[in-house]
Structure 1
Amino acid sequence: MSERLDTGILVVGGGPAGYVTAIRAAQYDLDVTLVEMDALGGTCLNRGCIPSKALISAADVAHDARTSSQMGISAEVDINFQRMVEWKDDIVGRMNRSVEKLCKANGVSLVEGHAAFEDEHSVSIEKSDGQSERITFEYAVVATGSRPIELPGFEFHRSNVLDAKGALELDELPASLVVVGAGYIGMELSMLFAKLGVEITVVEALDSMMPAFSPDLIAPVASAASELGMEMNYGELASECHPTDQGVVVTTEEADDGDRQEYEADAVLIAVGRTPVTNTMALGRIGLEPDDDGFLRTDEYGRTAVDHVFAVGDVAGEPMLAHAGSMEGEIAASEIAGRNTPAVNRAIPAVAFTSPEIATVGLSEAEAKETQHSVSVGEFPMRASGRALTTGHTEGFVRLVCGDSNVVLGGQVVGPEASELISEIALAVDEGLPTDELAEVIHPHPTLSESIGEAAANEQDIAIHTLNR
């Protein structure tokens, strides 16, 4: 085993939490080494967020071309899925190379391999060629991310059993697909493939899709799923999977009475959530143990029970979101550098890239009522938005939840570009803006962003383009 010179900060994991930690720490003039066993960018860039959104965008183009007769457009769409996948892969490759260039340009040393703790100040790195080396460090940041949950009987090594990564790496479209799990990942991928002409059957053990969102937020998505011809089966637990000459048969058991159902398809996609990766670094050697949910507990700066070891991103707990992990990485780097650590407890948006999109931030109305003396709500329907009308997508609304002194505590958006609109509401929540100030912001016309100003005005009972309640 060769020995490597000491590094100030060792970051293990090159996903959105890890590479952001490394770059920010290097910008603070710290000596940083980043270890990644696979491709830089982690699950998000290589097997999740970026490739899925690329294919979602492509599927939206195809779907809109087929369904825009009200705009005077009629088209027969020819989908070259292999070319679509090549386009997606090119985007991923470009971003992967960009992360590598950014790391190197900021002075981050990159090491390829699998890291495991030897003791509190060193790790061994196993290389793909079988060689190994030892790196000693002053501080370590664990950013090993998460992996998809595997169901018994639906192991991902089995033929025609897919996780999200496998679904995004298909080289040809299946004719039919059973999707187990109606959370946001399951629904995003289900709607993506449905728009590309795949027959979709969704099986969900709970009694509704995306339980993290309230019923009024998911109602437009449920309507869209019906229009896409997706078969939704709630209250059914996937229990068995058997291969056939054509694909698979998935057996489910109904939660109420145990009745069994069978669904045939070319393949089955398992999308029941993700679990943190805490079993790859020999954490026990330094006295770190995951909690009952598999996460590493940290303080508000990312510090674990071992004072000089930090954890950021999915491995450190909910919310398991790329942008949350990136901010945690910045905070950890700042803390290690002894800089003014960014404010903690920031508003963290959550987005489902379904049809329509759903985005939330801060408190819901019910949550606000638990903490505030008075709670009020301002809403604006997308059907009243001139810009939404011109896109052909008018489902959904913007809602602002306000507390004492009309301060914005949270917001929910359902509709076109909800993922973009939520950032203005997140800023309002972070800065404690009241709706009278938000309503005074001049939004360009015609834009979807006007809906936020109108919702703020509605909370003040002075909206122009919707009736005040």
Structure 2
Amino acid sequence: MADYDFDVLVIGAGPGGYVAAIRAAQLGLRVACAESRETLGGTCLNVGCIPSKAMLHASEYFDAAANGTMAKMGIKVTPELDLPTMHAQRSHAVKQLTGGIAFLFKKNKVEWLKGRGSFVDAHSVAVGDRVVTAKDIVIATGSSVAPLPGVEVDNDKQVVVDSTGALELARVPGHMVVIGGGVIGLELGSVWRRLGARVTCVEFLDQILPGFDGEIRKESNRIFKKQGIDFRLSTKVTAVSVDGDKAILTVEPAAGGAVETIEADCVLVSIGRRPNTAGLALDKAGLAANQRGQIEIDHDFRTGVPGIWAIGDVVPGPMLAHKAEDEGIAVAENIAGRHGIVNHDVIPSVVYTWPEIAGVGLTEEAARESGTGTGGEIKVGKFPMMANSRAKTNHEPDGFVKIIADAQTDRVLGVWAIASVAGTMIAEAGLAMEFGATSEDIAYTCHAHPTHSEAIKEAAMAVQGKAIHV
């Protein structure tokens, strides 16, 4: 047997990579993790999920005070924005969590190789000026912001920015234009809208939130419009020019038509993400990325080269931190000779706007088009949050819960929700689906009162026409 420096080398310390490294070490393997950032945690902890949620949470408080929601509850305040302090609390949260990963590496004896990893051969990786060998190598290099052709992002100038730059704005822009109506653009656009910016969202498609259930997309659009976000749907951006501290966008209908210009103080380019496979020297390991820049894998996360595995944003599937984490655990267990598996049919998606938007499983459109239900038939149950007692007392009337079930077997195929805590509520739906629950299983499970989650119970009852409070 060859003498390797490590049993497992993980390239990348994002949610997938650091979890894979820790789990592999827990299973008794000698583990190293190559990471070029100064702190661990990847995009998610450093410039993605965590800092954006810190800004979303803080801006919710400011907005509740500014828009009269608090006054309705008998709390009269006049808010004053202290943006430097808001940024400071965001940075503090990031520092604590990234530091926590470093502690876990030490606790589990995972060696952090500081530098960018690239293959020398199928079992050797160069990290800085060092070459290390490993019996098994896990590629977990994550993803980066996808560029918009012809549009130059310069986060330092804070006029045309990406999602990282949008977290660091030193002032509230008078007018922010968000290019892209997906999750990240809507979340960051919501932050600055709450803090006082006028926000316009330009989306090439005819509706926001691609991939989400159709009714959820339409209702979300309505809610965001009510909050003050202006949408330009079926519209493409053909150019962005910068003149001093202003940006001029050239836009036209997606199907072709009259050209217009939009002036903005800040433009957020948020059209998606792309896998970080460039620079890995995959060819030296006998690998090649597909046309999307992804690394193809089998059900167990093996690539086409024995001993090389891949997880997270670099492989096909949704680019979600929690998906990567589950894959990190599974790949480590597979390497250790155990049986690691991820049910990719039950991966929840959440938009952390106000209210939150969440879903798991099939959309109604996908269920009908694919004929997933027995005989191709499905049933749908819905329940509005305005009829939920906890949402009513909290002044949170917007949204609904929707459950899609097989018409004959009653097995739940998908659950979608718009509610203030939809991101937490969706965990119940995911657990139910993982165990093959029927809508009746959920309907006959006692839910605490008064809670937002009662809306899931009522939606499940509505599948069979038994909802009580509507």
Return closer, same or farther for 1:420/1:77 CA change in 2, 3 Å cut-off: same
One-letter identity of the residue aligned with 1:393: E
> Which secondary structure does the structure 2 equivalent of 1:116 belong to?
strand
Which stretch shifts more, 103-112 or 340-349?
340-349
Q: CA deviation at 1:449?
A: 1.1
Count of residues in correspondence between the two structures: 458
Q: Which residue, 450, 457, 468 being the options, matches 2:461?
A: 457
User: Which residue does 2:139 correspond to in 1?
Assistant: 142
Task: Label 1:345 to 1:210 Cα distance change in 2 as closer, same or farther (>3 A).
Answer: closer
Residue of structure 1 equivalent to 2:122: 120
* Mapped contact 1:121–1:139 kept (Cα < 8 A): yes
Opposite residue 457 of structure 2, the aligned amino acid is G
Deviation at 1:354, TM superposition (A): 2.2
Aligned to 2:8: 9
CA offsets 1:316-360 (integer angstroms, 9 cap, x no match): 122111101111111111110001323544510011112321111
Q: Which residue of 2 aligns with 1:154?
A: 151
Counterpart AA for 1:91: A
- 1: distance between equivalents of 2:340 and 2:401? 33
Alignment of 1:59 with 2:63, yes or no, is no
Shift of 1:176: 2.1
In the alignment, residue 414 of structure 2 is paired with which amino acid? G
Question: Aligned residue for 1:129?
Answer: none
Deviations 1:169-192 (CA, angstroms, capped at 9, x unpaired): 223322221211111111111111
**Counterpart check, 1:389 vs 2:392:** yes
Give the AA of the match of 1:371. Answer: T
Cα separation, 2, equivalents of 1:343 and 1:220: 31
Distance change >3 Å, CA 436–CA 236, structure 1 → 2:
closer
Aligned twin of 2:74: 72
Deviation, structure 1 residue 5: 6.7
Aligned sequence identity (%) = 38
1:413 to 417, 426, 429: 417
Partners of 1:177 and 1:269 within 8 A in 2: yes
Tell me the residue number matched to 2:290.
291
- 8 Å CA contact 1:9–1:30 kept in 2: the answer is yes
- Are the aligned partners of 1:201 and 1:232 in contact in 2 as well (CA < 8 Å)? yes
In 1, the alpha carbon distance for the partners of 2:168 and 2:79 equals: 22
Q: Distance in 1 between matches of 2:341 and 2:204?
A: 40
Residue of structure 2 in register with 1:267 after alignment = 266
Deviations along 1:80-118, one digit per CA (max 9) or x if unpaired, are: 011000000000000000111112211211111011111
How many Å apart are 1:276 and its aligned residue? 0.4
Q: Judge conservation of contact 2:213–2:364 (CA < 8 Å) in 1.
A: no
SS where residue 5 of structure 2 aligns? strand
Residue type of the alignment partner of 1:64: A
Q: Give 2:426's aligned residue.
A: 422
Q: Find the residue that maps to 1:410 and give its secondary structure.
A: strand
* 1:41 and 2:41 are equivalent in the alignment: yes
**Cα displacement (A) at 1:230:** 2.2
Aligned partner of 1:279 in structure 2 is 278
SS of aligned partner of 1:237: strand
Q: For 2:6, what is the secondary structure of its paired residue?
A: strand
The answer to whether the aligner puts 1:164 opposite 2:154 as a matched pair is no
Aligned to 2:378: 375
1:348 match: 347
User: Aligned-pair RMSD on alpha carbons?
Assistant: 1.7
Change (3 A) 1:32 1:20: same
Contact 1:296 1:317 in 2 (8 A): yes
Task: Supply the distance in 2 between the matched residues of 1:436 and 1:225 (Cα, whole angstroms).
Answer: 33
Structure 1 stretch displaced more, 326-335 or 65-74: 65-74
CA–CA separation in structure 1 for the residues paired with 2:467 and 2:247: 54
Do the aligned partners of residues 83 and 378 (structure 1) sit closer, same or farther apart at CA in structure 2, a change above 3 Å counting? same
- For 1:295-321, what per-residue CA distance to the aligned partner results, in whole angstroms no more than 9, with x for missing partners? 000011111011210010000122111
Counterpart Cα distance in 2 of 1:174 and 1:429: 43
Structure 2 counterpart of 1:462, which letter? K
1:62-87 Cα deviation digits (max 9, x unpaired): 11112314333443211101100000
| CA separation of 1:176 and 1:348: change in aligned 2, threshold 3 A | same
- 5+ unaligned residues in a row in structure 2: which ranges? none
Measure the CA separation in 1 of the matches of 2:385 and 2:204: 32
Rounded Cα–Cα distance in structure 2 between residues aligned with 1:150 and 1:81: 28
SS of residue in 1 equivalent to 2:386: helix
1: CA distance, partners of 2:163 / 2:296: 27
Task: Indicate how the Cα distance of structure 1 residues 366 and 182 shifts in structure 2: closer, same or farther if over 3 A, else same.
Answer: closer
| Residue of structure 2 equivalent to 1:186 | 185
Q: 2: CA distance between counterparts of 1:367 and 1:214? A: 9
**Conservation of the 8 A alpha-carbon contact between 2:212 and 2:363:** no
Cα distance in 1 for residues equivalent to 2:118 and 2:443? 53
1-side partners of 2:354 and 2:348: how far apart?
18
Aligned residue identity for 1:138 = K
**Secondary structure of residue in 2 paired with 1:406:** coil
Q: Hey, which bits of structure 1, 4+ residues long, moved more than 4 A? A: none
Query: Once the 2 structures are TM-superposed, how far is the Cα of residue 227 of structure 1 from its aligned partner?
Result: 2.6
Aligned equivalents of 2:397, 2:245: Cα separation in 1: 40
- Deviation of 1:223 (Å): 2.4
CA contact (8 A) 1:221 1:354 kept: no
Task: Give the distance between the partners of 1:146 and 1:216, measured in 2 at CA.
Answer: 30
One-letter code of the match for 2:466?
I
Per the normalisation by structure 2, the TM-score is 0.94
Structure 1 length normalisation: TM-score? 0.94
Partner of 2:109, secondary structure, is: coil
